[in-house]
Chains A and B, each alone.
Chain A
């Protein structure tokens, strides 16, 4: 491998992950000139940069969230040269439009995973392993206690809970992060059970993704005039923060649930104080993290948001050159659960 460059391909600057040769940042947390964005979650896509580059599929939501930005789209798998550095975006399977970013300089390849999961969710473009020398991986759920059940099994549980709630004469309210998790849950619901309502934040993103052609069921937006009595047996999908809010009170007696990887832990389930907690994550579980790292063939792995210390130590024990990369990522599900992932 002919990479005899002195500077590493990517470093962490005050603004974020920086490629000096290409003079661009990946998912910067401060405004920069050129930002490559893995996906539209708030900890990865921030306002204020001069130029953005993201997948075509991520574009509409990115514009919705960041407003009037200078955004260039790129197709999955297409290459783009930036100051002699070649970049391409490959599916990360995290949320619709999400990508890993492959960066190549003279034969040396780095991949920034962004957030990812391996198991197909029926909506997001499925994860593709990308061979590289250095892999920058997330580790939100980088502990062996985190192992996800099959999505079909979770869908059965959610629909059963919805049905039981309807029988009990209550409205079901499911907390799910408004980009990604909410639409994934929507696509898992059985619309025959009852009407599906959405909180404004969820509805806006859902409408955008539906218009892009992602297969999503019909949903009814909750407005200030919405009355619970008009929608008996309904299920409401809302951001997790809305569950205990005054907003939720209009629905009277509700059964509350959330869908998140943290629900794997009994302590967290109990702390949330909800009626149900479904184990459903848009991040890779322990087995998937390990498989993803192995499949890249990378000899060097840098670990970001999550259980960075633990996962990098584990990888080092496998003979990899592993280190913790200090970043400011940690959002979406990290907010649903313990803030451990906010490290």
Chain B
């Protein structure tokens, strides 16, 4: 664990990608196979089975440290991370011992059948053998969530350096349904035949936001435009007579979307489609339903029949990554699109698949005008894809661009503040905003992001001096500051006092220039709801 902890420290303590890469690649080159396999698993969001109740950690740690629980809670509120808080408050280890990462994971797995007292004794003995950094990581194995600033890209680059393999090949290998229990380092990273995992999707190709004028992209004839849909990016894999639906986050979401269970009936084995999962109830005249309808389908393990009827999903397919078992990703988009259209020509009409239409245009200004109508199409803007582009791995500049609509905005008054956690521990970063309803300020949204660190510091100092009342961690502040709140959508919500809820709200600007009286009203918001909700 010491070597692992040293690597994590090396990665975590710097903002320099090259330094992170060096630390990770060095570790992956020399660590024992099982340790590096676990490292890749942990950093790609795979976690050991939960054998110890994370909720009890703080109690056990409090007693171990001789502290009342409330003091641990206060510390947690500041540190923003339970694993770290526990690691920091415990007394120094009495019997330091260096065991491997895999050993400690096995140690935790072995606790599963034990009763709580035995688990507690084991965890306490582990804490007594680990230094602060190791303890933090050990606790993370229990609480989950190894977010230490290692992106998928960094991981594959480090693996590429450690194995001498191509990083996009490695990115593909890391996709799919493997765990350290079901594979080996050799099979995952080294073997020429990457295995026969029928479920394995391809790494998604992600677009960059278009910041330059589209004219800079050159000849419009080289480009394909599509609507940018406001759904869930997904990949539908059909192999061996089975289907697998993958989310962009690399999660297998097949059970959440049983509509696609019929896919093997009309898609041959060896087919992989990339597209957007959207609700299509049929009563929106040729458009998918709004994101609000899709929200009911998100995060479900099983879907009740009524919901399947009221909010059925389809895959809006826009790319064909595999056909008849052949990986098509290196072919130009124009060819892949042609094959995709051929495929759709023979699909039954009731298939839960739609061909995502392209948006025809001859010059950029014409396309710019179409873009403005995106909300009417239930889209967030346009996608621009170079017709000659291969399907690349991850976020790459140059061939795919997202050209989103400007967000909707309102000017709102800050009325509550709450401190952030993690990276923003000790700054006030979570705010509640209100609009006018007559003479009252009605809260309608929270927002957390959008300000610079300097602005967060400034507002934090202001909050301290202008707190009217405290409700636990929440402070009611003098209504004095107006912020421009940007958001992507709005919908009705009986759960909120204002009767509506925003999608992706964030602080676009601190309107120092606006007096509180000039903030927007609830009627203004209702008008936006009527237009775009």
Query: Which residues on the B side are within 8 Å of A147 (C-beta)?
Result: 88
The residue among A147, A267, A313, A340 with the most chain B CB atoms within 10 A of its own CB is: A267
The residue among A143, A275, A277, A342 with the most chain B CB atoms within 10 A of its own CB is: A143
A28 at the interface (CB under 8 A from B): no
CB-defined interface of A321-343 with B at 8 Å, one 1/0 digit per residue?
A: 00000000000000001111011
Shortest distance from the beta carbon of B96 to any chain A beta carbon, whole Å: 15
Query: Which residues on the B side are within 8 Å of A274 (C-beta)?
Result: 15
CB-defined interface of B447-482 with A at 8 Å, one 1/0 digit per residue?
A: 000000100010011001000000000000000000
B508 at the interface (CB under 8 A from A): no
The residue among A146, A265, A313 with the most chain B CB atoms within 10 A of its own CB is: A265
**Residues of chain A in range 224-274 having any CB-CB distance to chain B below 8 Å:** 264-271, 273-274
**Residues of chain B in range 163-202 having any CB-CB distance to chain A below 8 Å:** none
Query: Which residues on the A side are within 8 Å of B78 (C-beta)?
Result: 143, 145, 265, 307, 338, 340
Shortest distance from the beta carbon of A83 to any chain B beta carbon, whole Å: 34
Shortest distance from the beta carbon of A309 to any chain B beta carbon, whole Å: 8
B421 at the interface (CB under 8 A from A): yes
Shortest distance from the beta carbon of A86 to any chain B beta carbon, whole Å: 36
- Contact assessment for A271 and B423 in the assembled complex, using a CB-CB cutoff below 8 Å: yes
Which of B68-76, B206-214, B226-234 forms part of the interface with chain A? Answer: B68-76
A276 to B9, CA, bound (A): 10
Query: Which residues on the A side are within 8 Å of B67 (C-beta)?
Result: 144
Shortest Cβ distance from B68 into A: residue:
A317
Query: Which residues on the B side are within 8 Å of A146 (C-beta)?
Result: 88
B125 at the interface (CB under 8 A from A): no
Shortest Cβ distance from B136 into A: residue:
A266
Query: Which residues on the B side are within 8 Å of A342 (C-beta)?
Result: 461, 464
**Residues of chain B in range 27-60 having any CB-CB distance to chain A below 8 Å:** none
Say yes or no: A267-B79 contact (C-beta < 8 A), given A147-B88, A342-B461.
Answer: yes
A143 interface neighbour in B19, B74, B84, Cβ under 8 Å = B74
A267 interface neighbour in B16, B74, B422, Cβ under 8 Å = B422
A8 to B422, CA, bound (A): 42
- Contact assessment for B74 and A266 in the assembled complex, using a CB-CB cutoff below 8 Å: no
- Contact assessment for A266 and B424 in the assembled complex, using a CB-CB cutoff below 8 Å: no
A271 interface neighbour in B68, B89, B453, Cβ under 8 Å = B453
A140 to B218, CA, bound (A): 58
Query: Which residues on the A side are within 8 Å of B461 (C-beta)?
Result: 339, 342
The residue among A271, A274, A275, A313 with the most chain B CB atoms within 10 A of its own CB is: A271
Shortest distance from the beta carbon of B65 to any chain A beta carbon, whole Å: 7
B505 at the interface (CB under 8 A from A): no
A220 at the interface (CB under 8 A from B): no
- Contact assessment for A273 and B424 in the assembled complex, using a CB-CB cutoff below 8 Å: no
A310 at the interface (CB under 8 A from B): yes
A234 to B472, CA, bound (A): 48
B457 interface neighbour in A266, A339, A343, Cβ under 8 Å = A339
A-B contact pairs, 30 of them (CB 8 A): A143-B74, A143-B75, A144-B65, A144-B75, A144-B88, A145-B75, A145-B79, A145-B84, A145-B89, A264-B88, A265-B84, A267-B421, A267-B422, A267-B423, A267-B424, A268-B426, A269-B12, A269-B13, A270-B12, A271-B423, A271-B424, A274-B15, A275-B13, A317-B68, A337-B426, A338-B78, A338-B425, A339-B457, A339-B460, A342-B461
Interface residues of B (CB under 8 A from A): 12-16, 19, 65, 67-68, 70-72, 74-75, 78-81, 84-85, 88-89, 136, 149, 421-427, 453, 457, 460-461, 464
Which 9 A-B pairs have CB atoms at the shortest separation, nearest pair first? Answer: A338-B426, A145-B88, A267-B425, A340-B426, A145-B75, A144-B89, A267-B422, A275-B14, A271-B423
Interface residues of A (CB under 8 A from B): 143-147, 264-271, 273-277, 307, 310, 313-314, 317, 337-340, 342-343
